[in-house]
Structure 1
Amino acid sequence: MSATGTHPALERADALHELGRHDEAKALLGRRLAEDPEDVGAWVRLARCLGAQDEKAEALEATERALAIAPEHIGALLQHARALQSNARIVDAEAPLREVIRLAPDYWYGYALLGHWLWRIRTLRLGHAGGPVTQEATTAFQRESDELALTAVRLAPEEVFPYEVRWGIADIGGDRALADEMVREILRRDPQHPQALARQTEQAATAPGVKAAEAAALYADALAVTPDSAALQQGLDHATYRLLRGVRLIAVLSLGFAATMLDLWTKEGQAPRELPVPLGQQLWYFVPIGALWTVGALLRYRRLRTGVRYNLRSVLRRRRWPRIVLGQAAWAVLCALLVSQVPWAERGVPRIVFWAGLVPTLLTIPFDRKKTN
């Protein structure tokens, strides 16, 4: 036995579990239980490993074996509640968690886990009983769950999970102010919390007046802290897509300026300029358009964070709509060059070229705003 009273095999099993080596941990615990079938700690750890590998029925059986040996073992009761929940028996999970609270009234985790599940349990029971699940009933269930989570906060104010529970309840109940407060509390204790960081970043990036480059920088900074966050990566992809849509707008403006240079449309009674346009005027076209692209695209790109630049190239490889938008921009620029640089003698063909460059974009703009796939 170790100095703490835990068998060395159980300590090794804990280490293997933390490393994700569940098969090795199960084999070790199996040997330990062959030596001592009454080792409750081994049964609890075996249930945890089985649950981690989605062997739900076996995990539940292991917790039942543990409770048969020690009905008041806190770890066995908690693992039993988790096994019940994973086996679609969340309604039955209330009893072992109530027992945890009775046996260990100062242990915060029992309150937090029951608060996490209780409003669901109450709703399911009411539905199974045939009663109407009204808004009043749902609100009462959520309030009861939040009170349990609040007790956990009082018992362990530095633990993150109780705040996560309160955040989830506030979100479900539509209490935006409380949800935002819980996000701040979580990040105060865990600045790298993926979900809370994603929520805070999304709020900042989607605030009114925040430009695409600013939003992309916010997401890139957050991803530097939690690089595995799928929510943050999705947000960065969408902000990058907004940048590409801005480039397409510059291309459309270039096309419109080319049409103006040739007077493709004039007001009634106004005489259009003579064609072909003089070479000097054709070349002058590149002055304002060059300035537009330099300020609107080149300088903007150079000011982007390195992570945003990498993602710009990455999103073009990974997603279809960004490539479509960039292709539309390139097509519009090509049409703009044809309209402005070919010495047209009449306006019929350049009008066709103009519409050919503009129509593909006009057809997609109304519904491609949120397309990032």
Structure 2
Amino acid sequence: MAQHDVIVVGGGPGGSTAAWRLARAGLRPLLLDAAVFPRVKICAGWVTPEALADAQVDPQKYPLTIQAFSACRFEFDGARTETRWRRPASYGILRREFDHYLLDRARAAGADVREGARVTAVTHEADGIRVVSPRGTFTAPVVIGAGGHRCPVAQALGEVSGREEVVIAQESETRLAPEWVEALGKWWEAPELYVEPDLKGYGWYFPKGDVLNVGVGCVSGPGADLPRRRDALVSALRAAGRLPAALPIEPFRGHAYVVRRRAPRKLAGDRFCLVGDAAGLARDLSGEGIGPAIKSGILAAEAVEARLRRGAGLEGYAAAIVRRYGSGETGWLGRQLARIPDAWARVFVRAILNTEATRRHVVFGRIFGMREVAS
């Protein structure tokens, strides 16, 4: 008899949520992660009320760094806009803390968590899925891939294509002394987003507690030149007073993730499913990935429990993801929009951002998932 019912590869929000739900359901999940928590995780740390509700985390009771936002600012093509809500529409957290909190919760629920266990091989065997790591070799009837963009489960079973669209980003996250937080007070109440002139990405200025995260991301490929975009962002922030010349910030670190615009990964098979960034579920255009990771972790846990208890197939999980996040293939309308000349596209984007209703409901509501907390 197998020691574990399911192996979860990856201890971020998607993997830890799946393991937590499975353990609470009375199953025996094993979670493997290459890192030792708390670990540095490069991420702006933007989390929506929906994501916190899905994770059953009450922002009023969360014991670590969290900042509520009821405003957000956009800059594009010389125009600056601000959108306000009556109640919080998003939150800022530190991934180092948040991910550790969720992982410890899964462990407390009964998940067997092994840190410092980088998975080096995943194979489909007659009796289940075999996973190899320096901490041991394990076999279970089902595996959940939650190891991010380069998840070994996705690489082995997810039919990863070289045609994937990859977003690359660089971020700096700095904890500030109290005097700096006070000095930057007028910039501290709301995150700011700066759309790149070529519409291939955006930069951000994201305060949370006593920590400041600044960064920029864009679609990889010809013309990406991420260092140039990073340097331009920092120069603009220095000139505007948001990053005073005397304020030192931590070095920039890079990361990447996939968006489901073309050549989507296989989401599930007979004995596996992929969640979060391993499945390429970060929100297209915004890149917000914590919410989709948590939601897909919940859906995966439900599907795996049904597979283990009733013999149900995992294709239902894949169908649920497609219904929620799309097929991942560009449709006719998307192909037509891609042919719009750049000058027209900028006019279109400027009109959307400068119109209160479309900015609130389309950009923030649909693209970023920002909706104010219900009263």
Fold shared per TM-score above 0.5: no
TM-score, normalised to structure 2's length? Answer: 0.21
TM, length-normalised to structure 1? 0.21
**Structure with a larger share of its residues in helix:** 1
Specify which structure has the higher proportion of strand.
2
Q: Tell me: higher relative CO, structure 1 or 2? Use CA pairs within 8 A at least 6 residues apart.
A: 2
Structure with the greater alpha carbon radius of gyration: 1
